[in-house]
Structure 1
């Protein structure tokens, strides 16, 4: 892939060390260490305000952390110049929580937006490319002529996924991919995500509250609590982690260490 970096053997695709971020007196990220191996999917779970979205935004370069390092293929992106960082970001695809489609553009223009914005493709070829990508997410290319407002929530998620994979990114981020979807459509979207990630050979990071989604998408999982990673392990072990914080969260129990702290 153009612009790709060949890392030393054994180097994680994403390596985070000592990541810290505060807003005023509130410490949102408090020394995060996380590795994501190349070609694997990591899901990060945690309650509202635990720091999941801030972590994602730090990795994407939307927020500057106070301390720590974020390495992609062994290169600390926090120390790159703007143009170099933009080159790294071009290797990343993102599925936003609510789709974040542009209402003023047609579906196919949304799908090919990044490619056209970077002048990687002309409009005629972009429309054909968008049709091909829409097929990958189970939509007929004719959907490309519609506006986002004409789509159901599930279709909007598919279009958002199509846009995320259009440039064949090395890294994919998913922000609450099943939010607002019924359980069946959530399972469909998860299946498409897994299929697309495997087809591209991408590395994926997802943040989610949906435990069924987490176990379907993830190879590995981690839980954030009060700005710290309190558990990491196989995603298949989320419901049987043996960690009291994780067990309470994943099973939705009212009683446990999290509720005890909330009562103080």
Structure 2
């Protein structure tokens, strides 16, 4: 590992919204092929961190390198090839209600075809969508349905199929088990692990679900008060030796994290 360039390298990342400091000097290395999980309470900046990497939010300071290139210094046109390396499963799947399931899965492929003038026909896109649905454990016939006809777990699978459609080098997962029962959560996590391994992708997941974090992650870190206060193997999340991490992962009311419960 020594001397290897991280797939994603972040140094001194800061972001505030008015007087509220969300990220206050985040440092992070994610090596190629690693599944990295970031835990933390609601409102601690996990999603803001992902949005900064994606270029949806402009950081106030710091660097974000992808394959050794600081993408924060690039123009939108020159940043685009790096963003095309990324696929994302959104927290609530974020499917387009006006499109069928297969059109949702193939949306990025058809958009990329138009953008890069390598047009993919609807017939080929539909066939590819069927293959992707099978990869996430769904019958290709589901492709003809609308998202509203699917359960929450099925919508998550469709979102995962869309995320892996372009065989991305990097995958982001935003609270992948939110809204799912424990069994379906475990199913989604298993599919995520399988897809990441088959693609050989580098993955970052953000979650407050400890079972999910340990199933998905190789490495883990906790975001607290704008910084990553602990990093280590995901298997050590419940036995980190850090009092803040231990309070969070075990769900204890008493500890260094103070929660205002006043109504």
TMscore range, shorter length: over 0.9
Distance 2:3 2:166 in 1: 25
Following the alignment from structure 1 to structure 2, what is the Cα–Cα distance between the partners of residues 48 and 187? Answer: 21
What's the secondary structure of 1:259's corresponding residue? coil
**CA 1:157–1:170: 2 relative to 1, 3 Å:** same
TM-score (norm 2): 0.95
Equivalent residue number for residue 162 of structure 1 = 161
Give how far 1:260 is off: 7.2
Partner of 1:184: 183
Change in CA separation of 1:227 and 1:121 when aligned onto 2, cut-off 3 Å = same
Task: For 1:259 and 1:46, locate their aligned partners in 2 and report how far apart those are by CA, in whole Å.
Answer: 14
In the alignment, structure 1 residue 24 sits paired with structure 2 residue 23: no
Provide the C-alpha distance between the structure 1 equivalents of 2:243 and 2:261, rounded to a whole number of angstroms: 15
Distance 1:41 1:191 in 2: 13
The reply on whether 1:100 has 2:94 as its aligned counterpart is yes
The residue number in structure 2 matching 1:4 is: none
What secondary structure is seen at the aligned counterpart in 2 of 1:257?
coil
Q: Which one of 81, 85, 89 corresponds to residue 75 of structure 2?
A: 81
The 5-angstrom pairing of residues 74-223 of structure 1 reads 74-119=68-113, 120-223=119-222
Query: Residues 138 and 64 from structure 1, CA distance in 2 versus in 1: closer, same or farther, beyond 3 angstroms?
Result: same
1:90, 1:179 → 2: CA distance? 26
Count residues with an aligned counterpart. 256
Q: Matches of 1:103 and 1:240 in 2, distance apart?
A: 43
Q: Where do 5+ consecutive residues of structure 1 fail to align?
A: 1-7
For residue 82 of structure 1, report the CA deviation from its aligned partner: 1.0
Alpha-carbon RMSD = 1.4
Q: Distance in 1 between matches of 2:100 and 2:163?
A: 16
Task: Quote how far apart the aligned CAs of 1:84 are.
Answer: 1.6
Alpha-carbon separation, structure 2, partners of 1:9 and 1:17: 17
Structure 2, gaps ≥5 residues long: 114-118
- Residues 172-217 of structure 1, C-alpha deviations (whole Å, 9 max, x = no match): 0000000000000000000000000000000000000100000000
Moved over 3 A (4+): 260-263
Q: Give the match for residue 256 of structure 1.
A: 255
Pairs within 5 Å for 1:56-71: 56-71=50-65
Q: 1:112, CA displacement in angstroms?
A: 0.3
C-alpha displacement at 1:44, in angstroms? 0.4
Aligned to 2:116: none
State the 1:259 CA deviation. 2.2
Cα gap change, 1:110 to 1:138, in 2 (>3 Å): same
In structure 2, the residue matched to 1:54 is 48
Match of 2:66 in 1: 72
